[in-house]
Chain A
Amino acid sequence: MRLSPAASQRAAVAVMWTMTAATIGVLAFVILYVLARGLPHVTWEFLSRAPESMGRRGGIFPMIVGTLAVSGMGVLISAPIGVATAIYLTEYTRKGMLTTIIRFGADCLAGIPSIIFGLFGFVFFAVGLGMGLSILSGGLTLALMVLPTIIRTSEEAIRAVPQSFREVSFGLGCTRWQTVLFVVLRSALPGIGTGIVLSLGRSISETAAVMLTAGSAMGLPQSLFDSSRTLALHFYILAREGLPMSKAYATAAVLIVAMLGLNLLAYGLMKRFHAKAR
């Protein structure tokens, strides 16, 4: 049996539409399910108070602070290193042995499971360098984890800046550094920002790596050397220990809303980037 071209065309469209609908359906179901179960329990008290009796009662304020501290630190450390690496790879070196090794290394780093980073962070930062289970150890570990993402997205954003812009800048008697700083980076900034925001999202939702490095203390952290539990880890512990599921879902809802916000921000930046690079 043979299908007519028109019929096969319709069949192909139908199959692809179904696949797309399934993708969006799963996404929507997960988000709505968690939000429906969690949002009713998200109150101002929940957001602004410390947990009581292991999280059975009370709120998640220390976890919000801990999450921001650990992931913020991770991105603050990895962003400058990652962007500088990307600039070096794209603007200051030719394709060669060295850049291939650096890129290969970054790609390998991106493929390592986060629990391995957690283990490394625990052994190296927490124990080896004596930082203990702390925001510092967690932040440094997350920094290593998201570094490849930041390098790669920055590299792509920098490469997307037309070569002619650089030629014009050189032709006008500007140095390479001026050209990189005021022409290339300025044009690549929204793209680099997108990568950083996505990395922040990944840091916020990370569980395994922070469990082993930032620990799970529930108090409000007083310094970078204090242990602090993040939202994702709090959710994991609540669900795992059979503590009230309402609190677990409420935590998850807060996380999901934060992630949606961050992704919208990344999307907005990306749109601006493409509008600029017309």
Chain B
Amino acid sequence: MTEQPAKPMMETRGLTVRFGNAVALKNISLEVRRNERLAIIGPARSGKTTFLRCLNRLNDFDHDYSRSGDILLDGTDIHGPEMDVVALRRRIGMVYAVPVPLPWSIRENITYAMRMAGIRNRRVHAEKVESSLKLAGLWDEVKDRLDSHAQDLSGGQQQRLCLARVLALEPEVLILDEPCSGLDPISTARIEDVLEELKARQSIVLVTNNTMQASRASDRTAFFLMGELVEVGETKQLFTAPREERTNDYLTGRFG
């Protein structure tokens, strides 16, 4: 118990989000612990993706977006005056539902963010390309064609490239928005394996529509419904003995 630091890696306190007049998230207080894989499940339009996009402030670009409540990263308010949004987005790596490789080579896709962050050393680039591709489990498949076009990769490979691209920045938190929604079971299994290994380095938040994936690939699970956090708990407990009626209904397929 003493090994776990008091502060969670990330934490929201009473987070309420509106887009115009529509309430997307209601009073969410949820913590992301260090080195855990937190899954977020729930039916469509329950606020899962909105929640993720709050964590790296990607919603800021939406002109209808308004928020109340706080989000803390390692104890620091991410909306505070000393927080640099650009740096924040490097600390919180995001992987999207649809893999979006930029229309360049595999190598360029990974070095882009480093170059923009001012890292110009070619040797560092090469090391990072190799280490991040290895972490994402893609190195062996692409090591001989790093300069070929990223869009020539298969869907599963593209998604692992997107993962590698984010990992190259060594983020403290990894947020994934239904990363396997368009992938076949084998590609899905590979990504789940990678997440298992990454847990030692990062905190992981995994939004998924696939409840089976949550039960396989997470330590704790949160259930969102219509913008509310219904229940959060150890994955095993939540799936076998949910405290809330609504969680049970969702898991047994009575709605959603």
List residues of A whose CB falls within 8 A of some B CB.
Answer: 94, 162, 164-165, 167-175, 178, 182-183, 187, 276-278
Main secondary structure of the interface of A (DSSP, over half): helix
Knowing A178-B116, A182-B112, A278-B151, say if A173 contacts B90 (CB, 8 Å).
yes
Asked whether B83 is an interface residue with its Cβ less than 8 Å from the other chain, the reply is no
Tell me the complex Cα distance, A174–B90, Å. 8
Asked whether, in the complex, the Cβ of B61 is within 8 Å of the Cβ of A170, the reply is: yes
> Binding site of B, secondary structure by majority: helix, strand, loop or mixed?
helix
Taking Cβ atoms with an 8 Å cutoff, the residues of B that contact A are 56, 58, 61, 63, 86-90, 93-94, 96, 98, 100, 102-103, 112-113, 116-117, 151, 162, 165-166, 169
Residues of B within 8 A of A165 (CB): 100, 102-103
Report the separation of the CA atoms of residues A94 and B63 in the bound assembly, to the nearest whole angstrom: 9
Q: Are A175 and B100 in contact (CB under 8 A)?
A: no
With A94-B63, A278-B151 in contact, do A172 and B165 touch (Cβ < 8 Å)?
Answer: yes
- Provide the bound-state CA to CA distance between A216 and B52, in Å: 66
Indicate which residue in B87, B88, B96, B169 contacts A168 across the interface (CB closer than 8 Å): B96
| Residues on the B chain within 8 Å of A94, using CB | 63
Task: Establish whether residues B100 and A173, one from each chain, have CB atoms under 8 Å apart when the complex forms.
Answer: no
Interchain nearest-CB distance for A103 vs B (Å): 19
A174–B117 alpha-carbon span in the complex (Å): 7
What chain A residues lie within 8 Å of B93 (beta carbons)? 171-172
Q: Which of B63, B98, B113, B151 contacts A172 (CB 8 A)?
A: B113
- Taking a contact as CB atoms under 8 Å apart, the answer to whether A172 and B100 are in contact is no
Given contact pairs A164-B100, A187-B103, A173 touches B117 in the complex (Cβ within 8 A): yes
Q: A165-B100, A183-B102, A276-B103 are in contact. Are A171 and B94 (CB under 8 A)?
A: yes
CB distance from A220 to the nearest CB of B (A): 46
Residue of B nearest to A183 (CB): B102
B162 proximity list for chain A (CB < 8 A): 168
CA A183 to CA B101, docked complex, whole Å: 11
A221–B205 alpha-carbon span in the complex (Å)? 68
Smallest CB-CB separation from A277: which chain B residue?
B103
Q: How far is the CA of A22 from the CA of B89 in the complex (A)?
A: 58
Contact A171 B169 (CB under 8 A): no
A173 is contacted by which of B103, B151, B169 (Cβ under 8 Å)? B169
Show 17 residue pairs from A and B whose CB-CB distance is below 8 angstroms, ordered by the A residue: A165-B102, A167-B58, A167-B100, A168-B96, A168-B100, A168-B102, A169-B112, A170-B61, A171-B94, A171-B166, A172-B93, A172-B113, A173-B88, A173-B90, A173-B116, A174-B112, A187-B103
